[in-house]
Amino acid sequence: MPQMTMVQAITDALRLSLREDPRVVVLGEDVGKNGGVFRVTEGLQAEFGADRVADTPLAENGIIGGAIGMAMYGMRPVAEIQFVDFIFPAFDQIVSELAKLRWRSAGQYSCPVVVRAPYGGGIRGGLYHSQSPEAYFCHTPGLQVVIPSTPSDAKGLLLSALAGDDPVMFLEPKRLYRSIKEDVAEGRFTVPIGKARIARAGEQLTLIAYGAMVPVAVEAAEAAQQRGWSVEVLDLRTLQPLDTEAVLESVRRTGRAVIVHEAPRTCGFGAELSATIAEHALTSLQAPVLRVTGWDTPFPYTLEHTYLPDAKRVMAAIEHVMNY
């Protein structure tokens, strides 16, 4: 079983899908000869040709609009947006067309478009290359929102997304692109969309995280262990559909919850998680649900380390909840 980074695992999933299914195409800015800004599609155009791995103009609205048209005619396009920060010119196409096509056609048409985009901070990208807008898309019925945290999950979830008939926002934590490496199975395998995983087992508190915050949560949980506190880390993997059952089962068992994400606090996905826990597991709680998040400011450049939640900030929330 080869070891892969997240970049290599995603490339492997794309290559496998392009080989197996002639309906799969990849399109986006510089995805072809250049292999994408993060080299995720490197070598694919040379192997499959420019008709299957197509460079596009710098026009996100056109990229997504074109992908929607391809999907309606039976293709399975993978549209790459260089940075998720650049996705907003295509926002209308995504929320008004892509997400609604199955509904408005009463199920006559599906629109199996996978929109890949690196998101989040951690690479000193500044305010235009570090945003985490996942909550916008979770608020839109008809879209699936997937955020992996490991190379193996990235490959398995992307293969699941490509095999499905619904549009998927596949947000990739670029902070983890090359910072972690693990064994990834060769060939085709899938990780089910809508199923969370326990990244670390524990008994006294549940840390809920996704994407680049999962390693941060695990680090904080290990630090908490030194204090004698048993902390579970739940990796959501999919925000929409949310594995509500896994969230509630863990929180009911531990009696405490801390939510971690790097998006701004106000109306971030953590607010939805907090509300879900309050509605369905309130009587199991031994302390308030706390959120450790990014700040309600544009993403900074020189103060990136201050903006992003780290193990120290998460540990402070754990201490507060455990001592409540």
| Each residue's pLDDT tens digit, 257-267 | 999 999 999 99
What is the residue whose two structure tokens read 């599906």? 110
For 89-148, write each residue's pLDDT tens digit. 999 999 999 999 999 999 888 999 999 999 999 999 999 999 999 999 999 999 999 999
For 67-82, write each residue's pLDDT tens digit. 999 999 999 999 999 9
Contact 260, 292 (CB under 8 A): yes
Cα gap 59→81, rounded to integer Å? 10
Q: Is residue 78 part of a domain?
A: yes
Check residue 140 and give its pLDDT: 97
User: For residue 148, what is the domain's CATH number?
Assistant: 3.40.50.970
Told to judge if 129 belongs to the known catalytic residues of this protein, a careful annotator would answer: yes
Cα gap 213→291, rounded to integer Å? 12
Residue 48: how many other CB atoms lie within 10 Å = 19
Alpha carbon separation from 301 to 125, 130, 134, 141 (Å, rounded): 7, 9, 21, 33
Residue after which a domain boundary falls, among 125, 158, 183: 183
What residue type is 281 in one-letter code?
Answer: A
Q: What percent of the residues of the chain are helix, what percent strand, and what percent coil, each to the nearest 5?
A: 40, 20, 40
User: Are residues 174 and 296 located together in one domain of the fold?
Assistant: no
User: Are residues 145 and 266 located together in one domain of the fold?
Assistant: no
Q: Is residue 189 part of a domain?
A: no
Cα gap 288→311, rounded to integer Å? 20
Q: How confident is the model at residue 174 (pLDDT cuts 50, 70, 90)?
A: very high
User: Are residues 81 and 42 located together in one domain of the fold?
Assistant: yes
pLDDT above 90: residue 1: no
Question: DSSP code of 284?
Answer: G
Catalytic residue among 129, 139, 280, 320, which?
129
User: Are residues 167 and 33 located together in one domain of the fold?
Assistant: yes
Q: Which two tokens stand for residue 91?
A: 């926002």
User: For residue 247, what is the domain's CATH number?
Assistant: 3.40.50.920
Check residue 109 and give its pLDDT: 86
Q: Is residue 141 part of a domain?
A: yes
Check residue 171 and give its pLDDT: 98
**Total domains in the fold of the chain:** 2
What residue type is 316 in one-letter code?
Answer: A
What is the residue whose two structure tokens read 């064994």? 183
User: Are residues 231 and 275 located together in one domain of the fold?
Assistant: yes
Residue after which a domain boundary falls, among 132, 159, 183: 183
Q: Which domain holds residue 133?
A: 3-183
Alpha carbon separation from 52 to 7, 17, 18, 44, 121 (Å, rounded): 20, 11, 8, 9, 31
Q: Is residue 140 part of a domain?
A: yes
**Quick check: helix, strand or coil at residue 92?**
helix
For 273-317, write each residue's pLDDT tens digit. 999 999 999 999 999 999 999 999 999 998 999 999 999 999 999
Cα gap 115→93, rounded to integer Å? 12
pLDDT above 90: residue 251: yes
Predicted model pTM:
0.96
Check residue 321 and give its pLDDT: 98
Residue after which a domain boundary falls, among 183, 216, 233: 183
For 237-247, write each residue's pLDDT tens digit. 999 999 999 99
Q: Of 17, 22, 101, which is closest to residue 64 (Cα–Cα)?
A: 101
User: Are residues 135 and 178 located together in one domain of the fold?
Assistant: yes
The mean pLDDT of the chain is 97
User: Are residues 209 and 170 located together in one domain of the fold?
Assistant: no
User: Are residues 89 and 224 located together in one domain of the fold?
Assistant: no
Question: DSSP code of 181?
Answer: -
User: Are residues 178 and 232 located together in one domain of the fold?
Assistant: no
